[in-house]
Structure formats: C-alpha cells, structure tokens
Amino acid sequence: MPAPAAPDAALPWWGTAAHDAYLLNDAARQFAFFGRSLDPAGGFHAQAMDGSILSGAVKELHATTRMVHSYALGHLAGLAGADRMIDHGMTALRQLHRDSDHGGYVWSFAPDGTVADGAKLAYGHAFVLLAASSARMAGHPDAAALHDDICEVIDARFWDHAAGRMREEFARDWQKISAYRGMNANMHMAEALLAAFEATGERMFLDRAIGIFNFFIGKVGAAQNWRLPEHFTEDWSVDAGYEGNPMFRPAGTTPGHSFEFARLMLQAWDLDGCRNDDLRDWAVHLYQRALADGWDHARGGIFYTVGADGAPMRRSRYWWPLTEAIGAAAALLKAGLGASDDYSLFWATVDRLFIDKTHGGWIPEIDEDDRPDDSQFTGKPDIYHAIQACLFPLLPSLSHAARELPGLRGRLAVRVD
C-alpha cells in the first residue's frame, strides 16, 4: 500500500470544506476549458494542450457522447450554459453519428460531416446509452427518443441474450468483422446500464449490469487473483495472449479498469439497496489488487498495464487511471470501508503531475521525468474521466446523481456560453 500524502492545506482532504472547494474549482476550470471545444460545423473540436483547436481531427463517437454526459452532469449541478453543449452533442449524435442507412451509430465523422469510420462498436454504443441516460436525467427534450433508439440497437445487434454480455464489433452494414470479445466495452456497458436504471427506474437495466459484474468479476476475476483479463474469444474464454490497439486493447491487465469496476459495483450495490454483499466485497478485492499492482512507488501514478503475475508491462502513466482510483477510493469511503489515506495520496499526485494549472484541464500523460508527453494522446482528450473525479466525491451517496447533483447549484462559478 502507498504511504499517506504529507499534510498540505491546499490539497483536498476528505470531509473538509477545503476538499469541496478544491474539487469545485477544478471542475469549473475543466468545464470552461472544454466549453471552448464546440464546433459550429458539428460535434466538438479536439483541443491542444493550451486549448487551441486541433483542426482536421475526426470526431469520434466516444468523445461526442462523453461530452453530452459530462455537460449533462454539469447541467444537473447548475452549470450555466451547459444546455448549449448538450444540445450540440445531441444534434451531432442524431445527424452525424446516427447511420440512417444501416442503423446504429458510426464510430467517427470527418470535419466535413462525412463518415470517416463506419464501424459499429459496442464500446461506442455503450457511451450512446450513457449520454442518453444522463441527458434524460438532465431533462433534455430529445433524450427519451435517443434512449429508445439506442436500447433497440443494443438489444438487436450487440446484446448476447444467452450470455448476458455485449458482442464487440461489426462493419457499418452489420457484417461480422471479428470474433473478439472484450471486457472494456462490457464495463462501460455496465456503467451505462446503471445510468439507464437511474434515469428510468427499469429494473432490467440494473439486472443486466449485475450480470456483467457476476461474470467478469465474480467468475473470471476471482479465479485470476482479482486481476481482470481484458480479452476473450468468441465463446468467452480468456484470450491471455491477445494484443491489439495500444489504447483500447493493450496486452495484460489494466489496474485503472479494476478501480473503475470497483466504483461501479459499489454504485450497483447501493442502487440495489445494499443487499448483494458480493458486489461490495468484490469491489474491495479489486481495489486492493489494483493498488498493490498498479501504484508506481518510485514516481507516483498508476502503471497502465501489468501482467498476470502483477509485474508492470506498460509503465506509461496516464491521467485516467488516477481519476478512477479517486472515484473508487471515494466510493469506499462513502461505504464506510476506509481508503482516506489513499484518496489524499491520489489527489496529491494528480495536483503535482496532471492538473494543468495554467490552461485548465488535466495533462493526459507524463514521461519518465514527470513532464507532459504525447506518445499516446494528442492534446487533451475529453472531459469525462476528470470531471467525474471532481463531481462524484462531492455527492452524499454512491449513486443517485440526478437527485444529488442539484445540491451543488450555485457553487460552480463559471459559464460555458
């Protein structure tokens, strides 16, 4: 386990007014930074480290949907101007990502609005459900129609009803393009299903999420000493030797995903009335294993991937595993399961290495000398991971964002229009 952070009055200590002020201030700076990304031609611009526009970049489905989701959270929290960002993203989903010829949502479109990559990916469609659910909780008038459409697409094309999990990927015309099955898309599907349950109250969404946890954590993770295999064959056997796209499908196991799963399982445990203690206990196991394997004791931060034995494979340090570690530690604290020293250490590391105090937003990756790096990411990716790290710890419960985010109204001192 890492050592506690040294006391520093400027850092966010759990349960203090300074904690809330720190998180709200960073959330405001993030919303302001990404609020400049709106592209009048459609979707959202990619942004350089200083916030300038990266012209010519394609607009990818996960980025569009995450912006809708994030600014829907902002709207619920009273962010002035959030409606404009949500409206713009919803229009891009309907007019540019939605495939009027074949159904579903294409992965990306070019600056001129034409399809750049027509693939239909479970990962992207999970985020469409998340965006629709969050926009629905925020009261957007088009959210129910989007929600109905994406649920129909998922049920007809992606959901393996026999297995209770998501198939991975198809060509634009829904032809099969691989037999790959992935944990990552299913994890994000569980996230979206929990949001859909909060938005609609329909028990089916919660049951499907719990089914995903039962397989990937209760069955597979428990048998792998709580290290989660990322890659599977078509019959859902672990594919230990697989290596694909270094961002989305790296070799090895990803501690950041274990932190994320831990947070989501505690959310589900709460939404289910704190009855299923397996979810709580699995979350603790995942969190402890991810921290033991993933923490870089020499430099701070979390290794991107480790092997089946827990040894580091890719020592790259990105911002998003720390955001998920923050979310998991906060959830454990709310559940009365400890982790306050970890939580403080994570924020101290983020403050030292990843928060851009000059321009706003978070630096996505750092090199071995703790300097900003661009080996994997160009500019600053979307707001989704870091804004959740700021907003979710401020909520009293493990879930119920729509009910509790309005308690932050009047405290986000920024406009985005």
Catalytic residues: 257, 385
d(CA 160, CA 168): 10
d(CA 196, CA 145): 13
3-state secondary structure of 146: helix
Closest CA to 267 of 202, 363, 196, 204: 196
The DSSP code sequence of 332-401 is: HHHTT---HHHHHHHHHHHHHHTB-TTTSSB--EE-TTS-B--SS-SSB--SHHHHHHHHGGGSSSSS-H
> Would you state the structure tokens that stand for residue 141, as one six-digit string?
């008038």
Closest CA to 158 of 132, 127, 134: 127
3-state secondary structure of 94: helix
210-249 core/surface letters (b: 16 or more CB in 10 A; e: else):
bbbbbbbbbebbeeeebbbbbbbeeeeebbeebeeeeeeb
Burial of 81 (0-12, 13-18, 19+ CB in 10 A): middle
The DSSP code sequence of 293-349 is: HHB-TTTSSBEEEE-TTS-EEEEEEEHHHHHHHHHHHHHHHHTT---HHHHHHHHHH
**Dihedrals phi, psi of 14, to nearest 5 degrees:** -55, 135
Burial of 62 (0-12, 13-18, 19+ CB in 10 A): buried
Helix pair 122-137, 61-76: axis angle to 10 deg:
20
d(CA 98, CA 412): 33
